[in-house]
Structure 1
């Protein structure tokens, strides 16, 4: 006679299985990586800015670790994002320039987390052209996206990759979301967290806000923010570039110089019409005020929406087991050297903010001073998830630093920006804790090299390359550059590096 199933036994087994699954999920942290676009670290109050307050991001800094020297390996949106995803430098992940398609078949940390049992999701700006891979769900803008009423693409939508020859058809289909871009994209991300994720699995969610990337169109609440305030100018706003590479191209550098920036061409013409004798310095100062206020208004939007996400983590009880990281694809110039934008290897665009909070492991309010790099994020996330770090990743896990078990993971940080025409030359360089050498292989000889002592000259005004007193240092830094090129197997051709 066949025995009837023991319902109590079956229920016990089911309960044990569910508890085991839940236990596995609880033993590994959820991961939330928030990566803003063009977010300068010096625009946040937790990094010392006194012009505006960013209480949402200050919460992360106060509850975790703030990195003072988080560096990008290639300061342009598309290549910087590829470096974060892969843990590899541009020459290894195949994305060296802006608007260059990402090979989605390659290894990325979301794929590795997904294979390791994580549920993965992506919201916001993508800007890697090809269809996202390694995500259980995505809701993205293919390129920059409009400030208001963005069109997003999800797995059910046909994906037509953007290309210079196919700009219009790439934006067919998708779904329009009514409202201010950053607000509605954050709402989409929160909706997924609340209603769609599988609570039996740990999650890894990537949230990529569009701001503070231009155009500087703020939400209505910040349209008049700082309207009647005079923002203090950076000390190098009126830099003349004497003895440095920008001097060679300063008159065509509209991708970087505030006085030449295209969005304010109308304002410049108006100022020149009203005052025919106005000087270039006076134009720079006037346009700077318009630029910096527009930028700060978008930073406030970033901060508000980060606060919304942090509030939900607190209210839901997820905060205690969620590793939260805030960073940017690269830093940004806020008037230093008379610049806006990124691209150059100077400190403002080389550095991005990096705030990391995980209550069970990271000491609240801690500050780290040694250099880390975007390629370190992928191995860090895998390490916290308890997964093996592939040997071909070029970054280092920051987990030992975050847990107070290591002082540093690198002595040197490597940078390679690939040329983008006459206005943006190729740059290859290394930074140590004190010195920086930059090589511009496409420039003529007087403008090919820059050497800075960051301790004595933090604003990078004095190019020491031709100073005979620094010849020994110059040779040491050149040797370090050669070592990094060889160690990272970068096939860059530098005839002048001997």
Structure 2
């Protein structure tokens, strides 16, 4: 064999071997996009001005809608913080990845999309909240909050080492996210999971936002005084009512001493402790600023409280809740603006996919509630905005039934990596780019954390373009069916309405087929029950 031919063959062997080691990436290094995945915690889509609800203004998050795509009906598979994050990472339903509730441990040894990106040459980082035990796997760098984290002067676990940082958590998370991009290996594409704690309970705004947001009046939802008629026991027995179940000190910021003076009892035994612990993290100067804003509010409440009826108290508590909630959102929006500006100033905005979403939806007073968990719309739906100018037309809107189950496959698809066959989601890359219109016609949902805080009963169900079928089980056996076209606020369960007989039959067939498709079953329902309740 001639030497030059032998060299050519060896060269081909080396190239093929390298490609085999690198994996199934279909894109060159220069073509592969960077990824900045921004996830907030409990950020209801109603509190993003691009969605049109008029509660607040989020000009920076809105930029993603103007320059990319806004999904109007993005949903989650399990409306709870840690399970949602597990679904994001694995592309698998909770009953497959094992993280069914906030108490179950997450197995970091299982595959996740960040590990796949690492294996295919990406540099990866996770900064902010993950709310799962164990050192995150799949990341070259991690700086994560402990459990729920703190708003003021928080503790982080930075690559396995605990550190307390001085400042406001939302700003610190943004600082670290930008610094990591600045100091990354510039020879590699990168994926950054940039996760904010806000606007999670107990809703403590940045000091710079206190005055503006505590003085605003927020529009009340039409269902603030919902009486849960025409629905099953689950809605009536849930413990997330703003008047009855919200904490007075931790949530509404009434000092424990004032609670004692007015004879207000704790609903949860950690209410006063939450207030003291949260504000106890402040420096004297920070606390002085806080007191200058909240002390007059509490002085006015002290005068009014003795004569307030339940309706007046509900309205007062709703305003206090929403003022602080929207105040925390303001800092999240600030951070998004800083990130977008940084990417643009450094020439990274054109080849970077930017995702903004939340780990689930949230009740902002609808049905008189706060929190999430239910399969009803405000909890099920989550904000989702994606910017990638190379493929996504600016100003696009989509009502497709995408889910957080789809994030892992979609991001791998953009990176040119073959999606593992055991991932249950689907890539919405072509959908977002306007190259595909056909999409799934049904989504599947499960919820397991009962009995527990908020007492939302266990349930599973499906949602189509128009209808929703829910089965509540464990200590009840109740079915609910909603016509979302005629009843978007889900006030009337039509499961036993004879005019919906055919719809009910069709939805039951779809539910059976969907459960089979995702490999869920009654055996799984039993497997994740407390031992005493298993058959």
TM-score, scaled relative to structure 1: 0.87
Contact 1:100 1:129 in 2 (8 A): no
Structural mapping, 1:190-209, within 5 Å: 190-195=178-183, 197-209=184-196
Query: Distance between the aligned counterparts of 2:118 and 2:513, measured in 1?
Result: 35
Measure, in 2, the Cα distance between the counterparts of 1:77 and 1:216.
16
Is the counterpart of residue 111 in structure 1 residue 115 in structure 2?
yes
> Is 1:309 equivalent to 2:336 in the alignment?
no
Answer whether contact 1:437 1:452 (CA < 8 A) is retained: yes
CA–CA separation in structure 2 for the residues paired with 1:443 and 1:101: 24
Residues in 2 aligned to 1:432 and 1:92: alpha-carbon distance in whole angstroms: 23
Structure 2: distance between partners of 1:408 and 1:71:
17
Where does the alignment leave 5 or more consecutive residues of structure 2 unmatched?
1-26, 265-300, 527-535
CA distance in 2, matches of 1:228, 1:149: 25
Distance 2:160 2:204 in 1: 30
Does structure 1 conserve the Cα–Cα contact (< 8 Å) formed by 2:243 and 2:310? yes
Contact 1:36 1:209 in 2 (8 A): yes
For the residue of structure 1 that corresponds to 2:29, the secondary structure is helix
Measure the CA separation in 2 of the matches of 1:377 and 1:278.
47
Aligned mates of 1:58, 1:435 — CA distance in 2: 29
Aligned-residue offset at 1:130: 1.8
Match of 2:176 among 188, 191, 197: 188
| 1:32-90, Cα deviation, whole Å (9 max, x unpaired) | 10011001111001111323210110111111000001100000001000000000000
What's 1:377 paired with? 407
Task: After TM superposition, list the pairs within 5 Å mapping 1:42-441 onto structure 2.
Answer: 42-157=46-161, 174-195=162-183, 197-246=184-233, 249-250=236-237, 253-254=238-239, 256-264=240-248, 278-421=308-451, 423-441=455-473
CA 1:155 to 1:277, structure 2 compared with 1: closer, same or farther past 3 Å? closer
The 1-side partners of 2:123 and 2:242 are apart by 43
Provide the residue aligned with 1:462 in structure 2.
Answer: 492
Preserved CA contact (<8 Å) 2:87 2:405 = yes
Deviates more, 1:341-350 or 1:415-424: 415-424
CA contact (8 A) 1:436 1:454 kept: yes
Q: Secondary structure at the match of 2:439?
A: coil
Offset, 1:273: 9.4
- Looking at structure 2, the residues matched to 310 and 261 of structure 1 have their Cα atoms a distance apart, in angstroms, of 38
CA contact (8 A) 1:26 1:321 kept: no
Question: Which piece of structure 1 moves more, 94-103 or 61-70?
Answer: 94-103
Provide the rounded CA distance (Å) in 1 between the counterparts of 2:320 and 2:387: 34
Per the alignment, do residues 89 and 272 of structure 1 end up closer, same or farther by CA in structure 2, a change over 3 Å counting?
farther
Question: Quick check: 1:56–1:306 contact (8 Å CA) kept in 2?
Answer: yes
8 Å Cα contact 1:67-1:353 kept in structure 2: yes
Contact between 2:234 and 2:457, CA under 8 Å: does it hold in 1? no
- Distance apart, 1:478 and its partner CA: 1.4
2:213 is paired with a residue of what secondary structure? coil
* CA–CA separation in structure 2 for the residues paired with 1:144 and 1:235: 31
Instruction: Find the residue that maps to 1:66 and give its secondary structure.
Output: strand
- Comparing 147-156 and 278-287, the one that deviates more: 278-287
How far, CA to CA, are the matches of 1:248 and 1:198 in structure 2?
A: 51
SS of 2:204's partner is coil
CA RMSD of aligned residues (A): 1.9
Secondary structure of the residue aligned to 2:72 is: strand
Instruction: Please say if residues 60 and 336 of structure 2, whose CA atoms lie closer than 8 Å, have aligned partners that are also in contact.
Output: yes
1:396, 1:409 within 8 Å by CA — same for their partners in 2? no
How many residues get paired? 451
| Runs (5+) with no aligned partner, structure 1 | 1-22, 158-173
User: Is 1:417–1:428's contact at 8 Å kept on the other side of the alignment?
Assistant: yes
1:176-231: CA deviations, max 9, x gaps? 11100110111011111112x10000000000001010111111111122333321
Q: Secondary structure at the match of 2:431?
A: helix
Aligned to 1:167: none
Q: Shift of residue 419 of structure 1? A: 3.4
The C-alpha deviation readout for 1:308-355, integer Å capped at 9, x for no partner, is 111100000000100000111101010111111010111011011100
Shift of 1:305: 0.4
